[in-house]
Structure 1
């Protein structure tokens, strides 16, 4: 089968590649729709504010400029280009998230949990010297926060829903209870998980969510959108092929958010 919509692509408005280069790759790969869902965080906490400025991920301020660019690019490409956002979720920030999404009026929002207790779960160093009990506590907190994200109903899509699995120091601490907690939340929510290909062709070698988690979601009738999480043009091409193999093997199709 052919995967024609990719709802999770990054541009140079966060940590990806210039939009024209990403769109050229998408067109060459045979995609019909691409969603630029650049990273964004609207928390007012000082550490997060400092980090986003240092790394130049300021979509909360630059989205009007990106929107102008997207409108121009829509005239140049025979592709449907979505003006989206990948927004960091923390229950403490729900009021600010609601205000920002109402103001910005994106085509859709992707929600993600990257940090627990201020620590990025994708980075190995903070967990290297922790005990098993401490690592397990971080993973427990991650899934509780992810369930909160799903139940908040703020997002159309939830990104990489077992993110700690890509971090060697946290891998293996995800349990069936975590799967059931989050899968039950999805069953009652409008939010859809993505099949995320961000590490399937890299060191981790699996999709998010991993097979056991996907099974728990499918048992509850939860389907997936396709989100390559691409940051570079070659990733769009290669991950689209991987998606097509995955869905063809299972005789399944990804969800499309829009007709």
Structure 2
């Protein structure tokens, strides 16, 4: 199985390494194309504005500068380089997201649900004081947001669609019904999910989507694309081979989105 494109890597324009270092890593991994999908949040709620300040994720203000940097590197690397974005998705923000994507005109847009309400689902802190029943409601709301993301038709790619599984306090609450609802929504949408290798070599040890979720997606004849979710050049080099192995096991050809 030939993995030649990686549509989901990060750079120093969010929480990754310098662009040129990531491009070197992509070349070393034997890729033909790589897409920079740096984090971006356009929500106007105070909690989200504060988090953006704390993390320094300001691609909504710096995308033109990054675009110029990408252009400056095109002749230095034997790669097709895509100018993309990973948007934080919340149904309340659809109008702002749509306006920004229309303005910025990226090659494609990746979308992720990182928050349920004001709680970041990757962090343990917001969930420590919640009961099991309350955590289950959070997971329900997370999958509701994934369905809305697919139905919005705003994005080409849905990133790591079971992100809640990375969090030990939310892990294990996803159900077959959750998976089926998202798979049906994707089947009726232009948005495709990615096979994301961001934690497969770490403590979580699984691809996103997890096997049962991926099975539901494939059962609905939904295509799957490739995203290493790499933030460091060495991560690209390590994750591309395991993505290749996984697609070979599945006997599925990854779809190209550009």
Please tell me the TM-score bracket, short chain as reference. Answer: over 0.9
Offset of 1:187 from its aligned partner? 0.5
CA RMSD between the two structures: 0.7
Residue 239 (structure 2) aligns with: 239
SS in 2 for 1:213: helix
Residue 20 (structure 1) aligns with: 20
- Aligned residue pairs: how many? 258
Distance 1:28 1:94 in 2: 38
Distance 2:203 2:222 in 1: 27
Q: Which runs of 5+ in 1 are unaligned?
A: none
Offset of 1:47 from its aligned partner? 1.5
Moved >3 Å (runs of 4+): none
Residue 83 (structure 1) aligns with: 83
SS in 1 for 2:142: helix
SS in 2 for 1:195: strand
Distance 1:58 1:71 in 2: 20
Distance 1:194 1:252 in 2: 12
Residue 148 (structure 2) aligns with: 148
Residue 65 (structure 1) aligns with: 65
Offset of 1:125 from its aligned partner? 1.8
Deviation readout 1:98-140 (Å, 9 max, x if unpaired): 1100100000000110000110001112212321100100000
Distance 1:220 1:251 in 2: 16
Offset of 1:250 from its aligned partner? 2.3
Offset of 1:76 from its aligned partner? 1.2
Q: Which runs of 5+ in 2 are unaligned?
A: none
Distance 2:61 2:250 in 1: 42
Alignment of 1:167-182 (within 5 A): 167-182=167-182
Distance 2:249 2:50 in 1: 45
Alignment of 1:101-250 (within 5 A): 101-250=101-250
